[in-house]
Amino acid sequence: MKNWTLLFTLLTSLQTFAQNEARWLRNPAISPDGKTIVFGYKGDLYKVPSTGGEAIPLTLHEAHDQMPVWSRDGKWLAFASDRFGNFDVYVMPATGGEAKRLTYHSAPDIPYDFTPDGKSVLFGTARNDVYTSARFPQRGIFQKMYKVPVGGGRSVMFNSAGADFARFNKTGDKLIFQDRKGYEDALRKHHTSAVTRDIWIYDVKKDEYIQVSDFGGEDREPVWGGDENTFYYLSEKDGGSQNFTLRSCCGVLVMRLVPPPSTAVTNTSPRTTKANSLPLGDSAVWVTPVLMGRIFSSRPRVSVFT
């Protein structure tokens, strides 16, 4: 009896230790109403209130589920999963439930955004470029953008400019994205070269591109501001890798935001997550009262702005 008691105590202690040591919570996405955050942890998706609390699993699968994206009405989530060998786009109810596979190509597909009308998912893919492209035909380097109906159907190319982290504005007539110029590792920090990423806006109706950042280092992961005349993005300018920057859509620098973290929403096991502090060397979902209600993902710490 004593041995069983000792074993139970040991297992309970190990479980508690594991719950308090959750690391690398990835790719957080905040809901349109700002109340819920969905993030990846160990290949599954979890949701947690943006005010903190317990994180609940949305997927429990032996495959790797990642990169969640919310629909504009907050009812659906798109995400990437390698359940059939490579990453495809799936959709599921934001409350949880059965996931529906939307893409079936052998190239990896990663969701970027829902179209504003909620009828399609915009995704990046390593599929072959159009035959007229002058770009070096290296699959996986320059992402093409496709759209696929939420209800299922044929994927159609939307743009082949080579865009990452693309997001529509509210009306769907403009798209903001970060470019990809060459082979440079996306996770390399503090380098300056001709292949670092910049932010662009694509005018869908006019079929025109406007470059709106030109720092020699990394500018990346843009999101629209509330009035859509401004946008936010991450920049390594001034030596940092977590500088949150606000610009107008004509490229004028408005302000640089480097806010101190206030509340860590998730930093323990997603099953028993409570809000408290976390060292900067780890990963968590942070809530800081700044200017807007969209998500900024950064490594190793993730911040949510409300």
pLDDT value at 60 more than 70: yes
> How many CB atoms are closer than 10 A to CB 23?
13
Report how far residue 62's alpha carbon sits from residue 223's, in angstroms, rounded to the nearest whole number: 32
Of the candidates 86, 35, 89, 83, the one whose C-alpha atom is nearest the C-alpha of residue 61 is: 83
pLDDT value at 305 more than 70: no
* Mean pLDDT in residue range 8-24: 50
Look up tokens 């935001």; give the residue: 257
Domain boundaries, the chain: 184-258
* Mean pLDDT in residue range 89-104: 96
Higher-scoring residue by pLDDT: 231, 187: 231
Report how far residue 29's alpha carbon sits from residue 68's, in angstroms, rounded to the nearest whole number: 6
Q: Which residues of 119-138 are buried (b: 16+ CB within 10 A; e: fewer)?
A: ebbbbbbbbebeeeeeeeee
What pLDDT, in 10s, does the model give residues 219-269? 888 988 877 788 888 888 877 655 666 666 655 554 454 443 444 444 333
Report how far residue 148's alpha carbon sits from residue 129's, in angstroms, rounded to the nearest whole number: 17
Report how far residue 1's alpha carbon sits from residue 147's, in angstroms, rounded to the nearest whole number: 61
Q: What is the DSSP string of 181-211?
A: -SS--TT--S--STTS--EEEEETTTTEEEE
* Mean pLDDT in residue range 47-67: 92
Distances (CA, A) of 169 to 115, 226, 283: 9, 10, 29
In which band, very low, low, confident or very high, does the pLDDT at 183 lie, cut at 50, 70 and 90? confident
DSSP conformational letter for 238: G
The pTM score is: 0.76
Residues making up the chain, counted from first to last? 306
Give the chain's radius of gyration (CA, Å): 20
In which band, very low, low, confident or very high, does the pLDDT at 69 lie, cut at 50, 70 and 90? very high
